[in-house]
């Protein structure tokens, strides 16, 4: 697959983990792992595990005997993830495309995916694969960002970056914040073979802490970085502008609004 929005490679994983992880992904990772552990599963598969933020919470919260397999399309993301675990901790890391899983049918009790589904070009194919590798009545929990209107900080960041390239603004942030229609999400999961799908909207206030780190993550911790370079832009100048926007417009606290889907 060659789509730029899915290329989390090079220096991106480090910037993602340090800059974006604490603000955007940690708290929801804890919450998703809490919901997973409450189901007391015996075998869990995580898709689009990235730098292992949810994986770490899963290993901390799941019963010790529960087998955990963490996968991602991009091996460099998993290399950062692996560093978060001691050798004696059970986690299997494997590169896997969520639309083409190499696991046996019925192999897992629970499948999880935090903020990954919006990057899968064929949502129905990925849901069909998840349904196939789940045991009968097994569950799939996945989260998605709500819209720019519900997450205005993301719109503000997009606009800041777009001002550098008025004729051809980078489109990266439209991918993670562009798949939030509950009917569309439910229809894709049903088309993939799930019988029941419930979707709820959740929100969580978080502190940004370091505007410098967050700006670095927002510009260099995802494929936006490649879009800036492809347009002849200077990532440092864009990062400085984003940092100024965080300090002057966004503030230190934001509310993260998401959709949590449960399919079985
Ligand atoms: C926003 S990150 C989320 C990572 C992690 N779940 C978290 O919460 O920090 C999106 C992830 O989706 C992965 N990804 C993109 N396309 C994928 C695909 N087709 N199959 C599996 N992973 C994919 C990327 O490599 C990236 O790690």
249 DSSP assignment = I
pLDDT given for residue 2 in this prediction: 40
pLDDT given for residue 1 in this prediction: 36
Q: Which of 23, 33, 119 to mutate to test the pocket of ligand 1 (most atoms within 8 A of CB)?
A: 119
Burial class (CB in 10 A: 0-12, 13-18, 19+), 122: middle
Q: Please check whether residue 8 is in contact with residue 76, taking contact to mean a CB–CB distance below 8 angstroms.
A: yes
If you measure from the C-alpha of residue 74 to the centroid of ligand 1, how many angstroms do you get, rounded to a whole number?
A: 8
| Ligand 1 contacts CB of residue 170 (under 6 A) | no
pLDDT given for residue 108 in this prediction: 98
Q: Alpha-carbon distance 51 to 80, whole Å?
A: 5
247 DSSP assignment = I
| Ligand 1 contacts CB of residue 37 (under 6 A) | no
pLDDT given for residue 188 in this prediction: 98
pLDDT given for residue 5 in this prediction: 80
Closest to 24 in 3D by CA, of 50, 45, 3, 47: 50
pLDDT given for residue 130 in this prediction: 98
Say how many residues make up the chain.
264
> Which residue has the least CA distance to atom 17 on ligand 1?
73
Q: Alpha-carbon distance 239 to 207, whole Å?
A: 19
pLDDT given for residue 9 in this prediction: 83
Fold topology of 4-147+173-204+255-263: Rossmann fold (3.40.50)
Verdict on whether the full-model pTM lies above 0.85: yes
If you measure from the C-alpha of residue 248 to the centroid of ligand 1, how many angstroms do you get, rounded to a whole number?
A: 30
CB atoms within 10 A of CB 216: 22
Residues 6+ away with beta carbon under 8 Å from 217 = 15, 16, 18, 19, 20, 21, 23
Q: Alpha-carbon distance 36 to 141, whole Å?
A: 8
| pLDDT per residue of the chain (264 residues) written in tens, 0 to 9 | 344 688 888 889 999 999 999 999 999 999 999 999 999 999 999 999 999 999 999 999 999 999 999 999 999 999 999 999 999 999 999 999 999 999 999 999 999 999 999 999 999 999 999 999 999 999 999 999 999 999 999 999 999 999 999 999 999 999 999 999 999 999 999 999 999 999 999 999 999 999 999 999 999 999 999 999 999 999 999 999 999 999 999 999 999 999 999 999
| Ligand 1 contacts CB of residue 177 (under 6 A) | no
| Ligand 1 contacts CB of residue 120 (under 6 A) | yes
Strand-pair category, 134-145 with 197-207: unpaired
Q: Please check whether residue 127 is in contact with residue 240, taking contact to mean a CB–CB distance below 8 angstroms.
A: no
> Which residue has the least CA distance to atom 8 on ligand 1?
114
Q: Please check whether residue 169 is in contact with residue 233, taking contact to mean a CB–CB distance below 8 angstroms.
A: no
> Residue holding tokens 């804890």?
30
């Amino acid at each position: 697959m060659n789509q730029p929005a899915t290329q989390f490679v090079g220096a991106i994983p480090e910037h993602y983990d340090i800059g974006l992880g604490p603000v955007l992904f940690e708290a929801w990772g804890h919450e998703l792992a809490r919901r997973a552990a409450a189901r007391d599963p015996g075998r869990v598969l995580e898709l689009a595990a990235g730098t292992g933020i949810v994986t770490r919470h899963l290993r901390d919260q799941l019963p010790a005997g529960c087998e955990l397999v963490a996968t991602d399309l991009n091996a460099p993301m998993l290399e950062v993830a692996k560093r978060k675990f001691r050798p004696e901790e059970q986690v299997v890391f494997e590169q896997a495309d969520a639309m083409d899983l190499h696991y046996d049918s019925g192999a897992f009790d629970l499948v999880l995916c935090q903020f990954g589904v919006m990057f899968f070009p064929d949502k129905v194919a990925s849901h069909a694969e998840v349904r196939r590798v789940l045991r009968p009545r097994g569950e799939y929990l996945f989260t998605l960002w709500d819209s720019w209107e519900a997450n205005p900080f993301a719109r503000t960041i997009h606009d800041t970056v777009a001002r550098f390239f008025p004729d051809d603004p980078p489109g990266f942030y439209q991918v993670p914040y562009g798949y939030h229609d509950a009917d569309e999400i439910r229809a894709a999961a049903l088309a993939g073979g799930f019988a029941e799908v419930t979707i709820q909207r959740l929100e969580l206030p978080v502190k940004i802490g370091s505007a410098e780190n967050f700006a670095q993550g927002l510009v260099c911790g995802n494929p936006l970085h490649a879009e800036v370079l492809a347009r002849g832009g200077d990532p440092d100048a864009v990062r400085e502008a984003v940092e100024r926007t965080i300090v002057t417009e966004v503030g230190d606290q934001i509310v993260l609004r998401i959709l949590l889907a449960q399919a079985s």
